Structure 1
Amino acid sequence: MPLFQNASFLTTVANLRDLPADAVYEVAFAGRSNAGKSSAINTLAGRVRLAYVSKTPGRTQHLNYFTLAPGKYFVDLPGYGFAKAPEDIRRQWEGLIGPYLSKHSPLAGLVVIMDCRRPFTDLDRNLIAWFRPSGRPIHILLSKADKLSRQEQTKVLRGVESEIAGWGEGQYSVQLFSSLKKTGVEEAESVLARWLDIPLTTKAKAADTGKKMPPDQGSPGAKQP
């Protein structure tokens, strides 16, 4: 069973003053529109429609909070790269996301979702370059890995590993992920559980310690912090 199977929607936040007051640890999910961010959250929670999956870029306009345990949350951030979004909505996103990512103390780390066929767009790099000075960890999910062959997956993974190796000291990690095939779930759980101080399941513990998993339960590889 998924580690975060008890996740439930809590609230939508449009203003920083409305952030949950009881927050102890939060993990934020960011990604270019249509990179598979909502699908990744749904997959990690073992749910179909916990996070709204839209075909319209920029549909998520606020911070959506999902409760995992008392004081512990997933936070779904607005997608970026939404060229058709009205300017007033753009300003709202910028005014909300920037202060949240830079000043919100319960934020334990940032998960960046990238389509494995198009990793590290300029928007991805801009977000990461802006967030890294916070000193908080970053975990990259290379989504839609099922769209590539095994050889192509390995090539993309190695390329991203090489890029983040050049970032210097810090807690940076990357893995392949597929919401369709449900691959990479245990690897992601092992990272996020540490950030959130949530006990790992047996499968996630195996992934975290590098034990060999059955062929249908792991991704081709992952670099962990």
Structure 2
Amino acid sequence: MSEPKPEAIQFRNVEFLTSAPTLAECPPDEGAEVAFAGRSNAGKSSAINALTGSNKLARTSKTPGRTQLINFFRIRDNLRLVDLPGYGYAKVARSMKDEWQRHLAFYLEQRQCLRGLILLMDIRHPLKEFDLHMITWAATAGLPIHLLLTKADKLKQGPANNTRFAVEKALKEKGLNTGVTVQTFSSTKRTGLDKLERKLVDWLAPRETQAQRDS
């Protein structure tokens, strides 16, 4: 049997799989998955919908913190996208925020099928405190992380690129640039969508084909 090419991953065929209220209720830790994380209203759901070509797959809302479940989407076979709850929303008690942060750190560090993390940040407000916590957690776990500077359509191309350069420089100065890539993105204009797709294929395809080769 010939091995599937990376292009065989079709994000337009993604379908909802399940929602988990806790990490303990996630699907079995097998196959490969990429998680999307970000502050509330960073455009996470909009990015997932743009990627999959659906306006309804991931719930969007103007109310911060609407997504408070871990949502799993099936690409095919054992390939998944994961929508992690938005962090930093104001209407949740501090104790609940702290509890979720502990669970989130455990997920990033212990989930064996996790191939990479897409961290979304509003290009006008990048690298907030918890964004840096997420990047540090990923670095500790040796997990590749791709920063998506969303809502790039709110800025002209020059300022948008300058922000990307500034983010890359800041991460390098903090010693957090290893395994980290950065791009600008707009779900409205679909700017950078092809680059996001290539990153996901790069993370999901190689180990998938390796597993088939070894079986």
Length-normalised TM-score, structure 1: 0.81
- Which amino acid counterpart does residue 89 of structure 2 have in structure 1? F
Q: Distance in 2 between matches of 1:30 and 1:135?
A: 17
- The counterpart of 1:129, out of the listed 131, 136, 148, is 136
Q: Give SS of 2:11's match.
A: coil
- The counterpart of 2:151, out of the listed 144, 160, 163, is 144
The number of aligned residues is 197
**Change in 2 beyond 3 A, CA 1:162/1:69:** same
Q: Give SS of 2:75's match.
A: strand
Q: In the alignment, is residue 103 of structure 1 matched against residue 105 of structure 2?
A: no
Which residue is equivalent to 1:191? 199
Is the contact between residue 135 and residue 170 of structure 1 (CA under 8 Å) also seen in structure 2?
no
**Change in 2 beyond 3 A, CA 1:159/1:88:** closer
Instruction: Report 1 or 2 for greater relative contact order, CA contacts < 8 Å, sequence distance ≥ 6.
Output: 2
Which residue is equivalent to 1:6? 13
- Name which of structure 1's ranges 45-54 and 17-26 shifts more when overlaid on structure 2: 17-26
Spell out the pairing of 1:1-225 with structure 2 (5 A cutoff): 3-21=10-28, 23-87=30-94, 89-166=96-173, 167=175, 170-197=178-205
Length-normalised TM-score, structure 2: 0.85
**Change in 2 beyond 3 A, CA 1:107/1:47:** same
Which residue is equivalent to 1:217? none
User: Which segments of 5 or more consecutive residues in structure 2 lack a partner in the other structure?
Assistant: 1-8, 207-215
- Name which of structure 1's ranges 9-18 and 142-151 shifts more when overlaid on structure 2: 9-18
- Which amino acid counterpart does residue 69 of structure 2 have in structure 1? H
Is the contact between residue 23 and residue 72 of structure 1 (CA under 8 Å) also seen in structure 2?
no
Q: CA deviation at 1:22?
A: 6.5
Structural RMSD (CA)? 1.9
Greater helix percent: which structure? 2
Q: Distance in 2 between matches of 1:119 and 1:89?
A: 24
Q: CA deviation at 1:18?
A: 2.2
* 1:18-71 deviation per Cα after TM superposition (whole angstroms, max 9, x unaligned): 221263111011101101011111111111111100111111112100001111
User: Which segments of 5 or more consecutive residues in structure 1 lack a partner in the other structure?
Assistant: 199-225
Is the contact between residue 152 and residue 160 of structure 2 (CA under 8 Å) also seen in structure 1?
yes
- Which amino acid counterpart does residue 101 of structure 2 have in structure 1? E
**Change in 2 beyond 3 A, CA 1:134/1:58:** same
* 1:84-124 deviation per Cα after TM superposition (whole angstroms, max 9, x unaligned): 21346435523532221111100101110000011111121
- Report % sequence identity: 44
Q: CA deviation at 1:137?
A: 0.2
Q: Distance in 2 between matches of 1:16 and 1:32?
A: 19
Q: Distance in 2 between matches of 1:154 and 1:87?
A: 35
**Change in 2 beyond 3 A, CA 1:168/1:143:** closer
